[in-house]
């Protein structure tokens, strides 16, 4: 099965998240153990590709991770990029805007942390919060957030035309899986710090968030910045599919190590 076609949202497609099974695992025939082994092999390949990306210094890669609470953004970063050289990989997290950020347009804080040449930057949440949280909580009028879809498309087009490869992943879990993960945070002392009473208030807004995500993916999955809806109830499968997509896209960049200086073969270190 072509993983890209299976999970990538075609431009212009109107999606209904109820039609996407967060528990399916049809692109891999093995069990969890086999899937984890396959992910480790992909991770080794990703390490090699990232080294070439950094050394060549020509390409830029932006990875966007979005999900409901407990969807697995942190876990994805930890497992998919395990062992990858941190010198060329950065993570940017977008929390509540600071007063300085609020004094600028909503993309100001985003643009300044996009990847430079030779870099991979991972957005743990992103500019899409301004058409998700902002929409669900009515933080700005509808006439304001509704025009942001086109603004975001234009922003991402600019990045792509300047040489950035953009991959956007929505980590799709269902409400029952979220309940289990929230309960685990309460039950396990070492995870309790992750839980906040406000998580329950956000959970109560599940239907509104689903509608907001449907609009985001439907209106901003483009040929130059595609969305992938990743089944994320099974963490091992989530990691496997994202790793495979990343490796495929990086291999498609046809990267090469830079040519060494001439005459180095005769250099002797005394």
Classify residue 189 as exposed, middle or buried by CB count within 10 Å of its CB (0-12, 13-18, 19+): exposed
Mean pLDDT of the chain: 94
Which H or E run includes 167?
strand 164-172
User: What residues does 227 pair with on adjacent strands?
Assistant: 168
Domain extent listing, the chain? 3-253
Query: pLDDT tens across 147-194, in order?
Result: 999 999 999 999 999 999 999 999 999 999 999 999 999 998 888 888
Classify residue 149 as exposed, middle or buried by CB count within 10 Å of its CB (0-12, 13-18, 19+): middle
Q: Which residues of the chain have pLDDT under 70?
A: 1
pTM for this entry: 0.95
> Do the Cβ atoms of 114 and 123 come closer than 8 Å?
no
- Percent pLDDT > 70 in the chain is 100
Candidate CATH numbers 3.40.50.720, 3.40.50.300, 3.30.830.10, 1.10.3720.10; the one for domain 3-253: 3.40.50.300
Its sign, for the CA torsion 74, 207, 170, 117, is negative
Residue 29: Cβ within 10 Å count:
9
């Amino acid at each position: 099965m072509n993983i890209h076609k299976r999970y990538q949202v075609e431009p212009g497609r109107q999606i209904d998240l109820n039609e996407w099974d967060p528990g399916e695992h049809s692109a891999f025939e093995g069990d969890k153990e086999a899937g984890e082994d396959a992910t480790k092999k992909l991770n080794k390949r990703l390490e090699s590709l990232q080294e070439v990306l950094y050394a060549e210094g020509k390409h830029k890669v932006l990875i966007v991770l979005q999900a409901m609470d407990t969807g697995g953004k942190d876990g994805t970063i930890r497992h998919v990029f395990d062992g990858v050289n941190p010198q060329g990989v950065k993570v940017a997290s977008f929390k509540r805007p600071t007063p300085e950020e609020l004094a600028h347009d909503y993309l100001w804080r985003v643009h300044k942390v996009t990847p430079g040449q030779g870099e991979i930057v991972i957005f743990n949440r992103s500019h899409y919060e301004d058409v998700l949280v902002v929409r669900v909580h009515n933080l700005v009028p509808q006439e304001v957030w509704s025009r942001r879809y086109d603004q975001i498309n234009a922003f991402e087009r600019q990045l792509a035309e300047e040489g950035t490869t953009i991959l956007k992943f929505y980590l799709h879990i269902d409400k029952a899986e979220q309940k289990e993960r929230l309960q685990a945070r309460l039950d396990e002392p070492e995870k309790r710090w992750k839980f906040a009473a406000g998580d329950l208030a956000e959970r109560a807004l599940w239907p509104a968030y689903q509608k907001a995500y449907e609009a985001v993916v439907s209106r901003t999955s483009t040929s130059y910045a595609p969305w992938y809806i990743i089944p994320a109830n099974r963490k091992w499968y989530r990691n496997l599919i994202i790793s495979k997509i990343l490796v495929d896209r990086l291999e498609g960049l046809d990267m090469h190590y830079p040519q060494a200086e001439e005459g180095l073969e005769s250099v002797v270190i005394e």
